[in-house]
Structure formats: C-alpha cells, structure tokens
Amino acid sequence: MVGPQTEAAVAYENSTRRDSPPDLDPASAASSACAAILLALGSPVVQSSGPEYNATTQDIWNLFNTLDQPTCIVYPRTGADVQAAMANIFQFGSHYVVQAGAHSAMVGYNSITDGVLISFANMTSTTYNPQTGTVTVQPGVRWGDAMAAIEHLGFDVGTGLLLGGGISYLAPLYGWAGPTVLGIVTRYELFPVRTGTKEQKNWFGGSITYPASSSVAILEASARYIRENTDTKAGFIALLNTIPSDVTATVYLFYNGPSLPHSIFGDFLSIPNTSASLSPLSYFDISNLIPGNARGNGQQFGAASWVGDEATFLSGYNHFFNFTETFAADLVGSDLIISPIPQSQWNATKTGANAIGDPGVAPPGVQAGFELLLEQASSSPGLPLYINECDASQNVFKTYPSFAALQKTYAKYDPSRFNVEHTTGPIGL
C-alpha cells in the first residue's frame, strides 16, 4: 500500500513485526482470535450469531459467498477497533476477510468459514470539508449513498470500486480515482469533482436496446469508438446479453453537453434498435441509470483488455458466446460488458500513484470452461487488467508495468506475508 498511513495501517505494520503466530488449524485459530477480539471489544461489536450476523452473511451480492459461516463477525466503529481485531487475528494466525459493500464477484473475497469477517456495515458516513475541499468516505459506504450525501453541493467523488483503482464516467477527463485518495483502509479522503446537482441537466444521453441482428455492428462500433474517440466529455458502456441465446444488447451513451455528437456516437445511433431512451440528464441521473447492486444470483467475473480492433472484439465475443451456449443450462444470465479506458484517463493520472500502469462453487465444469474462455479471449499484448472485473484465478498484478514496485511495497508492509497466506485475494504478490 502507498500513501499516508491511517491508524489501521500503522497497527497492521506493527503487528507483523511480532513473532510468527502459532501453527493452529483454521477452526481453532479463528475461535481463539474471536474470543480475544470479543474480550477486547465486547458485544455487539463482535458477534457469532443473531439477526445482524445472519443479515451480514446473507446480504452478499454473489450468492456463492452466502454459503460461508464466519466464526465471528467484527463490526468496527473506529480505526482503533480495526487495530484491535487485526492484532488478535495475527496473534492467533486466523484466516480473515474484509467486507465493505459486499459487491465483489469473487468467491471467498468477502465471506469465510473458519475465519473472522470484518464488516464495515457500521462505518458508512460521507462528509465534506469546505476548508480542505475534500470528501471523507468511510469504507462501508455504497457509492449511491456517497453520491446522494454530497449531490446537493454540486459535487461527486467520481468513483466506484475504489480499491481497484476507481472508475466512473468522469474518468476520461479526470483519470482513475486512485490518485485522488489521501487515506487508506478505514477511511478515504478524496478530492471531489464539480458535476452539478441532480436538478442541473448538463449531460445528455441514456440507453438504446438492440436486437440480436445488431450484435456484430455494436461490436464494430465499440472497437471504433475505443480506437478513435478523443473527446473526454463522452462515455459509453455496452452490455451484450447471451442468455437466452437470442442475443440482446443495451448500450448506454453519455455526453457532457446538450446532445450526443454524431461525430462520436453516429455509429451507435445508426444501428437498428428496438427502443431508445435519450434525454437531458444530470450526472446523478446517469450514475444511477445502470443497475449494478441487485442481490440474488451467484456471480462469476473475468476480464480481458482489448485494443480497438474489430477482429479482436468479434473473436473475443465468439468465444464468450460459445462458452454461454455450452453452459446455458447452468446460467441465469451471461453478459459481455465493454467499458472504454481512453488514453486521456492514463494521461490525467500521470502525476499520481497509479499501480495499474499505462498500457460456494460454480456448477461442475463451469469454472474450467470459464478459465478456458479467459485464455481464448485473452488481452491484447501489453495491456493491464482491471482488477475489479477479474476472476480470482487471473494473475492481475503481473499485468501491471509497476509489478516489481508493488511487490517491494507489499514486502515492506507485510514482511511475514501474513495477509496473502491468511486471506483469499488477488494472487501474485
């Protein structure tokens, strides 16, 4: 980790300098850690059963993670609570996970059996400091709530999925959110961007839905947009759904201006569609237009990075479609999601820290098939992966140009490698 240390970061660095934890089996280590944390913090900060415990284990976006039953759940209110929990987790060598909004698609990332779950459900405030011009966000906040808290000021923090770098519709102009962060672990302090209130309709756009017959045209238009567009006020996301097998697609188009310029979006506007909903919008409107936090299904995410080449897009989509057809009986839905990362986004973050750099179980057979898909529809050479959209099997960090620096930084803060050995997380460090 880089940047200024908060209380929790200092406590964790100190804890790793103790003698190695005892070699207990996972269940015993977790039980011992939970007992010690309960003694230090008391109830209801530490719970092993009850309504709040049940709600935390079940209100998880990826239903595969609801199969786990943590030995205890810690609900910190302060950085000091996190310090106490981590000190005891290390002392007894317990496995653990951290849960913020519970929106990870990765199995084992935000729940656990025979381990400690640290839930930030009680650290959910968003505050604006007019003296520093910064917004402080606690880690349990969901981004819709963070936006709503400061929207009346005409600001937005322009990010979601912050720990993976942070991305939003403001990213083409302002870059990744990561370099605007002034704090880590128990709170984020961010520089906001003035976007206007929800009454100020200074954007234009919305959604267009297309039939299966338009899928190739959408892929080609997406490739051209990524290759050719340089206007930082423009944005789009495409979702091609292949379940059921009759493909449907929805493309979300946005522009910070009074209309969608034909020179940028003409390809998408000319493709035959089944419906279109385009109008003046506020930034608040467009950030809440795409659903993304509905619970109710097991999730499997994987990612690749492609250059703006029509053949690459079509080949990758064909592999994805074949995977979906093969495992259709096991899948509720299957989407190929295209999110542009323009060169301007890299350029806007040159002065900040940017690690990404510049260029339950699934049903039997699905995981192996999915990993084959990731191999077949692999990234264009030299492009880094976006960690928030990757599968747990993908070695994301190794794709970053700053990989060696990340390894060195990690070794500084966790010389005993406790974290990578006691959590389920991205591989490679």
For 88, phi and psi rounded to 5 degrees?
Answer: -75, -35
Check residue 118 and give its pLDDT.
95
pLDDT single digits (tens) 373-416: 777 778 888 888 877 777 777 888 888 888 888 888 888 888 98
Residue at token pair 């050995």: 421
3-state secondary structure of 422: helix
Residues 242, 292 share a domain: yes
Check residue 361 and give its pLDDT.
52
Mean of pLDDT values over 203-208: 95
Residues 256, 371 share a domain: yes
109 DSSP assignment: S
297 DSSP assignment: B
Check residue 6 and give its pLDDT.
29
Residue 2 lies in a domain: no
pLDDT surpasses 90 at 259: yes
Check residue 2 and give its pLDDT.
29
Residue at token pair 């370099």: 179
Q: How confident is the model at residue 89 (pLDDT cuts 50, 70, 90)?
A: very high
* Domain count within the chain: 3
DSSP string, 166-211: -B-TTHHHH--SGGGB---SS-EEE--EE---TT---EEEEEEEE-
Listed in sequence order, the residues at least 6 apart from 250 whose beta carbon sits closer than 8 Å to its beta carbon are 207, 208, 209, 210, 238, 239, 241
Where among 194, 212, 238 does a domain terminate?
194
Distance, in Å, from the CA atom of 190 to the CA atom of 257, rounded to the nearest integer, reads: 26
Residues 330, 303 share a domain: yes
Residues 340, 224 share a domain: yes
Residue 40, domain CATH:
3.30.43
Residues 234, 168 share a domain: no
Check residue 180 and give its pLDDT.
57
User: Percentage of residues in the chain with pLDDT exceeding 70?
Assistant: 83
Check residue 274 and give its pLDDT.
95
Q: Which residue has the higher pLDDT, 160 or 194?
A: 194
User: Percentage of residues in the chain with pLDDT exceeding 90?
Assistant: 35
pLDDT surpasses 50 at 26: yes
pLDDT surpasses 50 at 67: yes
pLDDT surpasses 50 at 126: yes
Look up the domain containing 233 and give its range. 203-394
3-state secondary structure of 28: helix
pLDDT surpasses 80 at 197: yes
Where among 172, 194, 216 does a domain terminate?
194
Check residue 304 and give its pLDDT.
84
Mean of pLDDT values over 119-146: 88
pLDDT surpasses 90 at 166: no
Total count of residues recorded for the chain: 429
Considering the chain, what is the average pLDDT of its residues? 82
Instruction: Check the CA dihedral 87-92-98-104 and report its sign.
Output: positive
Nearest to 337 by CA among 371, 384, 291, 392: 291
Residues 403, 317 share a domain: no
DSSP string, 223-248: HHHHHH---TTEEEEEEEE-SSSS-E
DSSP string, 83-147: HHHHHHHHHHT--EEEESS----STTSS--SSSEEEE-TT---EEEETTTTEEEE-TT--HHHHH
Q: Which residue has the higher pLDDT, 249 or 188?
A: 249
Q: How confident is the model at residue 231 (pLDDT cuts 50, 70, 90)?
A: very high
Residue 230 lies in a domain: yes
3-state secondary structure of 317: helix
Amino acid at site 59: D
Q: Which two tokens stand for residue 330?
A: 């096991």
Check residue 290 and give its pLDDT.
77
Check residue 62 and give its pLDDT.
81
Residue 74 lies in a domain: yes
Residues 245, 353 share a domain: yes
Are 144 and 288 a contacting pair, CB within 8 Å? yes
pLDDT single digits (tens) 332-345: 788 888 888 887 87
Residues 344, 225 share a domain: yes
Mean of pLDDT values over 148-162: 77
**Hey, how many other C-beta atoms are within 10 angstroms of the C-beta on 166?**
24
Check residue 71 and give its pLDDT.
98
Residue 428 lies in a domain: no
Residues 118, 26 share a domain: yes
Residue 246, domain CATH:
3.40.462.20
Q: Which two tokens stand for residue 211?
A: 């039939």
pLDDT surpasses 90 at 427: no
Residues 243, 117 share a domain: no
Q: Which two tokens stand for residue 153?
A: 């000021």
Q: Which two tokens stand for residue 31?
A: 């039980």
Name beta bridge partners: 224: none
Check residue 158 and give its pLDDT.
63
Residues 207, 331 share a domain: yes
Distance, in Å, from the CA atom of 18 to the CA atom of 13, rounded to the nearest integer, reads: 10
Check residue 1 and give its pLDDT.
26
State if pTM tops 0.85: no
Q: How confident is the model at residue 12 (pLDDT cuts 50, 70, 90)?
A: very low
pLDDT surpasses 60 at 219: yes
Residues 413, 334 share a domain: no
